[in-house]
Structure 1
């Protein structure tokens, strides 16, 4: 997770197009925020307006239900105080005699007539407690044994003439399924019960029962449903009386101080808006439940329109950022790329320029600068090359006097130790050596000519040292025609004789080899002399490494060259680096008492390019 913020920060800081896009999106952010706020605010306003209208309609509905129930209450009072009905019930005793049955038939006719003119009632029943006879408008008479056992009878008696609402529970409905007292215990009905002869304190325990179907109450409010998914629930207190849905119960109303709540359905998980209206005169209330999705459908077009505007704005931001990037940032990135190429050494880089504005002028100035830089470097390079050749010739001129002194010294000792013939041979080889060294200004020889040149020098040295060492040549045929800088091997061979073989009385061997290996010309001088101590060898290698890493000067050996210290090796290394570049390498390998090997590794392509020096 930490890598994502770091990547985003890198893209933001390193790419102008990303920053431009972010800036445009920031400009759009207030517009998006205002649009979303207006959308949400309009939806809230709509919900409030719908809630207010619905609550008004529900209040009217609950007042209508109140009015209907007040009529039922008035009717029950009228029946309970009807003196004809009271006298009729009082004339009947505990036994069901023919006269009693006749009286009950008159009673049934009366309640049937009353029930017929009240459509809200399903039927009217009167319980004659002494005989246990229940007279009803829809089925006639039925004797109920031990009517005092029923809780609703006892509570009605205790109400002292007050009207009681009886809502059977599921447990009571199951218990009295076979003896439901004419639907009194049916879950589809609700009953209003009170005692007869309400104004007589010495009244008999007779009860009048007015029963209505719960669906009748639902029909009074179902016209208010705004959609098929909306439901209405009728409550008395906190007890659900009836509803338009028998399958789904509404969420619990947990805040009595509010008349509108938004709850989540436990059955479907969708959000529901719940609006409640309470009766000001009774304990009845009506709750309508409707999915929020239906309300939001009315604002859906506004939401879609807002989303489209936001989407188009974002696309415009990206498009404008791309146009600005293409016309401003892209040329700048092209300039940055060109400058990077120049920094890497590509002076031939040129930028396409078809613009006539300030960026076009800047691009043209860059191309001109690159051209001027190329011309300047080429002129400087040619000047440095001429200086290097001058320095190279100066270094070569330093070898001839040095060798001449040694040769004259050899002739001197040979004249003392040998006869004149040997001296003449030495002088002959010396003259051939100088003749090839001068070579009419040539700067390089082939490997074959270089070996011949060395041979003349070695004959002088062999005569000088009384043939104390032998010389072997191992020259590969393919290397014979390869050009090589003149006088490159002679200082190496001279060091091998003076520092390796001079101290040997006999058995000395000097092997000179030339071959081509891995695109390099390998020149090798090997002797079996006394070798070089390890400390001295480290010093020689360190000196050569410093010489390779330092820039060449016309006096490359500095103060360290005083007294001829490593003069020959320094000369060879300096000429190699100047002539063949950093790819050329001089390696010195030696073990004390086991000889020394000096190896020159020259790039073959640089050697083959050297044709001018052999012309």
Structure 2
């Protein structure tokens, strides 16, 4: 993306003009956006501070309520008369037991009236399985699992206190709220606090849900907000407002206040859109101003471009087309100012250049083309094919399988080499063509080496200059495979990197090269990289060695440009690898290479 912007900025005047106007507006835009976002931050921080203050006050109130209820539970659990009555009565319901339970119920009712946040108080007597409650008197628990839960809770708490939610599952299908007829959280603790040999009598103090909700209900800032009281495990004990939903930090403001008395916390969640209703209107106006400014910037840049930059761009396009060989170019204009004079002068210059090229260079080109076609006509591919085909059938008649296979591969090799004068083939076609040549060499060397192809799918359809790989493969066979009696291996690979470069690698497991020889070869190749294209043929004719590598690199430079590379890597005793690096940017048009 950055590269595209830089390219447009350096090649298009209109793009630069628009960029300059936007650059002028940029400080004002940034300041406006900063002011809007700063106001939103200030509003958010003030809302958080107000909420923290309100939650702190409510949490202190709740702490006092819980502390007072816990003190009442301590008095009840430590009452000697009540504990004596519970310990003395067993499973039978004698008149004395009924009187004792009535006394206990009366004492519990008096405790309920002391604190308005207590809805009911219950005592579970395991000896009789009786749950004595100020709400409904008394009842026996029907299930053994329910009885066991109360007994285990009393033993587990010891002298401590625990709280249980209304929806806590005591047994399968039975919740604590259904068992005790309560709709709020309850305090649980064992009776007979000061007796180490206490029985499993359990005290249950249930809070009034409405009274607790009234403490936090007034803190709700809007109908879409919610406040929840949760314990240390994160379980919601009480909640008021909008039902719980997944917390989204980007959309909700969340403020939490920890209790100084217990491990509980109050949490308020409010949608940010309710906080930002007024600032959102201001931000909308700011965006509208920014959009209008951008429209004005584009409009002014287009007016300036149409009056000044457009004729310059039209002239630049005409020069580019002339440079690409379009000699009949004519840039139309009806301007009478300096730009019109400049364009008319360019048209006259293009006309004169076209006449000179047609009179001199084009004549020489026709002469060279005629000579080339004459030389090509001397080669009769059909005569070659028919002759090789006759040799093939004669070898088949005499059962000379190796000879017939060599002739067949040689015939296929020449047939593709002379295929309608094409100069380029795809990688896939080139490998098929190359395989005929390699098969001939394998028969020649008695199959003492094998060939592996590692051609990536992405590279198969990329066009490649004809017979570019043959000299490289020939060198690998002559210098790498000729001395081997078996286990020779030739690997041909191709792949594309970053959609811009095609890599072809030919490697063998031959004897390799000595360091001195490798340095000499690489120096010669580097020297060819520094030369101009026109100097390739002249200096290559004077060279005394490396004919194959020089030929390949010269053809690569002439056809693919100066970015084409040829690198040789070798380790003595391990083998040699030749890497071709070819620039590639999409499918190359082969129309210019056909029929030459």
TM-score normalised to structure 2 length: 0.48
Pair member with larger Rg: 1
TM-score normalised to structure 1 length: 0.46
